[in-house]
Structure 1
Amino acid sequence: MEENEQVSAMKQRRKTCKCRCLTVVSLLLGLLLLISIVVLILAFTVFKAKQPRTKLLSAALDGISPRISFPVINIQLNITLDLKFLVENPNHASFKHGPGKSSLSYRGKQFGEADIPPGNIPSTGSATFSSRLVLEVDEVVSNITALVGDVLDGNLVVDTRTRIPGRVTYLKLFKKHAVVTSECQFTIAVLALKIQSQKCKSKSKL
């Protein structure tokens, strides 16, 4: 009888221990499932990477008014374009960007370039960047005929392109690379040496 009672008690303890283990495992699995669901929801809402945005705040023109002499064609023209633009970070994480570049082009050829230093834009914050681009007539010698024609016509069209690469990092674990680009076209009234019109478009790539 005593042996039977001992065996029965041992079986009961084993059954109780097994039930407890199953309960603990079930709780752990449920907790892992709940954490996975929460992480998934956060990944598609708060932690979903959003594209940084950029927009031109101002553009100022400085330089030397054009002078053309004949019969030997000699043209003097130096133009400095000062740009200021805003980069907005809509993410709930900082946007750390590396060195950026601004370039100035005339009739499809690049003639000026400026560096943008690396930095960090805080979550849901913004930063202002400045870029100073110079176009000198000596650099446009290959397009001198077109340049003279544009100056005599009174309008000079130049293009600028600004590119800032970086990445958005969540919880120091999830990283998403992003590139912010801004492209503008300026029509310059050369005699008055002022910006007559401007068209800009911005885009981001994740």
Structure 2
Amino acid sequence: MTENSDHLTKPNKRKRSCLIAIGVVLFLILLLFIIALILALTVFKTKQPRTQILSASVDGVAPRISFPAVQIELNITLDLMILVENRNHASFKHGTGKTFLLYQGNQVGDADLYPGFIPARGNSTLPCRLTLQADRLANNMSNLISDVLGGEFVLETRTRIPGRVTLLGFIKKHAVAVSECQLTIGFPDMTVKRQVCKSKAKL
């Protein structure tokens, strides 16, 4: 009777040990999942990449006004240095970006931005050269003449940089950094008198 009970007890002990081992493994998996979730919502939470214009300068020939019929000839190029700041604890790889030049809401020029890689908590500076295309100003020429005669005119830039943030080496999330700037150009010195920028991102 004692031998039979010993034979019955041993399988029960093995079964109990297996259940304990399975329980420990499940507990560890659950614990790792909770830790990963907390990190994803705090330290590794995806943050918006920021873009801003570090510097802006005007290159090229200043506008020339001719009389008696008022005409303006333009040959203006904007040299911009755009800073892209990656605030994430993860890398940000971006593709080819695009910057548009606008006057009173109408596109008058554009330029591509080179693709690149920004490490975690790092930043990168992208050069951008925008040439104002005078033929696109035909519909706004009267407004431009009025602005120039008033001593300044306002150009806008809109920059879009698509990319993706890579978390923990395998979790990838798309992000698009967007910035909009207003640049006030003085006349006749052709310098940037004021610039106001705002940035946002689409995650």
Shorter-chain TM-score bucket reads over 0.9
Q: CA deviation at 1:49?
A: 1.0
Q: AA paired with 1:80?
A: T
Among 171, 175, 178, the residue aligned to 2:175: 178
CA distance in 1, matches of 2:196, 2:167: 35
Partner of 1:199: 196
CA distance in 2, matches of 1:67, 1:16: 96
Among 99, 103, 124, the residue aligned to 1:106: 103
Q: Output the aligned Cα RMSD.
A: 1.5
Q: CA deviation at 1:190?
A: 2.1
Partner of 1:189: 186
Q: CA deviation at 1:172?
A: 3.1
**SS across alignment from 1:86:** strand
Does residue 20 (structure 1) correspond to residue 9 (structure 2)? The answer is no
Does residue 53 (structure 1) correspond to residue 38 (structure 2)? The answer is no
Task: Tell me which moved more, 117-126 or 165-174.
Answer: 165-174
TM-score by length of 2: 0.93
8 Å CA contact 1:52–1:180 kept in 2: the answer is yes
Q: CA deviation at 1:46?
A: 2.3
CA distance in 1, matches of 2:63, 2:40: 56
**SS across alignment from 2:158:** strand
8 Å CA contact 1:75–1:137 kept in 2: the answer is no
Partner of 2:146: 149
8 Å CA contact 1:56–1:86 kept in 2: the answer is yes
Does residue 132 (structure 1) correspond to residue 132 (structure 2)? The answer is no
CA distance in 2, matches of 1:31, 1:75: 74
Percent identity, please.
53
Does residue 81 (structure 1) correspond to residue 78 (structure 2)? The answer is yes
CA distance in 1, matches of 2:31, 2:135: 67
Q: Deviations over 1:141-196 (max 9, x none)?
A: 22222222222222111111111111101123212211111111111112111112
**SS across alignment from 1:84:** strand
Among 82, 90, 95, the residue aligned to 2:92: 95
**SS across alignment from 2:45:** coil
8 Å CA contact 2:165–2:174 kept in 1: the answer is yes
Task: Tell me which moved more, 100-109 or 35-44.
Answer: 35-44
CA distance in 2, matches of 1:39, 1:136: 51
TM-score by length of 1: 0.92
**SS across alignment from 2:165:** strand
For structure 1, the residue ranges without an aligned partner over 5 or more in a row are none
Partner of 2:164: 167
8 Å CA contact 1:102–1:115 kept in 2: the answer is yes
Q: AA paired with 2:153?
A: L
Matched length: 203
Higher alpha-carbon Rg: 1
For structure 2, the residue ranges without an aligned partner over 5 or more in a row are none
CA distance in 1, matches of 2:192, 2:44: 41
